[in-house]
Amino acid sequence: MSFIADRMDCIDASGIRKVFALAAKMKNPINLSIGQPDYDVDEPVKEIAIQAIRAGFNTYTQTWGIQELRDEASAYYERRFGTPLHNVMVTCGVSGGLFLGLMATVNPGDEVLCGDPYFVMYKHLVTLLGGVCKPIDTYPDFKLKAEAVEAAITEKTKILVVNSPANPTGVTLSKDELEALAAVAKRHNLLVFADEIYEQLQYDGDPCTIAGMYDNVLLMNGFSKMAGMPGWRVGFAAGPEDLIQEMNTLQQYSFVCAPSFAQKAAVHALRMDPSVHANAYRRKRDIIYNGLKDRFNIVKPTGAFYMFPEAPGGDGDAFVAKAIENNILVIPGSVFSERKTHFRISFAAPDETLERGVEALNRLAQ
């Protein structure tokens, strides 16, 4: 008799984590796999966290988070986009918000739409809850288009996931493209899950949000990327009051609350100038894109810190296996997609690593 629940047969260990584990065993690999910033938390933010710990701010907070951070998240969106957020709660990162949001909304058989390629959690969490994830093919430009979404909607469709800038492609949707998606969602009474974890890392065009375009949006953002705080596990969600209330109830019985000291520090992180990191990553994007574009078919990323090249020969799994044999760590595209034609590069790495990676990948492509 197995003690393992049947639902665990629906999901596999993350392919990304498998590569991370492999990286720990390799000697000086050219590591272009890690989806976290290569910059540290800013010193003023660290200092606030240290002061909070020393002052004894180490207890539970209210489940929905400290009021100061909830207010600041709304004020941040008003400053940056002209759209204040309503019904803000603090989550344990965007992943925590995503889990709570899906738990509160997905019934067995409900359909959830997302673009393909997609962030790995979308498909597996929906499946775990008995829902049906329906990836919408966005190749070759990786843009989630309103007409493709509309064509995929059935009577069972409940949620549309929008991730911009996107992991794993780095593609960003414009204001017009987001408005078109919001219009489709409104026409069919869908709930939109907006994953905006990379919104500060946009390199071309004006930053934009789907918040304020449609009432039934669950907006999720966090500090893992914008503030270099992935290990601090703090983010925020905002949306319809009844949904946020149910997510808050679920958080009482799961995460309890986000780390207290991290919430204090996150208030200041929202007041920092994001252009320093965005400018640094624009330059890194250019190093690796310009270095690879002549040998690889690549859509130039306009945000996040990923690009999603087509593998030479069209077999991403085989190319990644060959890359690993040559001490290069990248992620197979099949981890993020129903296709296996591409692979993901993260350019969240030192310039010297990027330059080594360009040389090694070009050599491998030959």
Q: What is the pLDDT of residue 7?
A: 84
Residue 134 identity = K
Report pLDDT digits (tens) over 174-211: 999 999 999 999 999 999 999 999 999 999 988 899 99
CA gyration radius, the chain: 20
Domain boundaries along the sequence of the chain: 6-41+274-365, 44-269
Tell me if the domain spanning 6-41+274-365 has CATH number 3.90.1150.10: yes
Which parts of 295-366 are beta strand (E)?
306-307, 328-329, 331-332, 343-346
Mean pLDDT (whole number) for 27-42: 87
pLDDT in tens, 259-284: 999 999 999 999 999 898 999 999 99
pLDDT score for 112: 98
% of the chain surpassing 70 pLDDT: 96
Q: CA distances (Å), 26 to each of 22, 223, 349, 352, in order?
A: 7, 29, 17, 18
Phi-psi region of 41 (alpha: psi -120 to 50; beta: other; left: phi over 0): beta
List all residues 6 or more positions away from 25 whose beta carbon is below 8 Å from its beta carbon: none
DSSP class of residue 64 equals T
**Tens digit of each residue's pLDDT (9 = 90 or more) over 202-252:** 999 888 999 999 999 999 999 988 888 888 899 999 999 999 999 999 999
Local confidence band at 27 (pLDDT 50, 70, 90 cut-offs): confident
Distance, CA of 286 to CA of 303 (rounded, Å): 12
Q: What is the DSSP string of 259-295?
A: -HHHHHHHHHHTTS-THHHHHHHHHHHHHHHHHHTTT
| CATH T-level fold of 44-269 | Aspartate Aminotransferase; domain 2 (3.40.640)
pTM for this one? 0.93
Among residues 93, 82, 140, 150, the alpha carbon closest in space to that of 121 is found at 93
**Mean pLDDT, rounded, for 155-170:** 97
- Mean pLDDT, residues 20-46: 82
Q: What is the mean pLDDT of the segment spanning 56-63?
A: 94
Burial-class residue 264 by CB neighbours within 10 Å (0-12, 13-18, 19+): buried
Of 154, 162, 163, 161, nearest in space to 109 by CA: 154
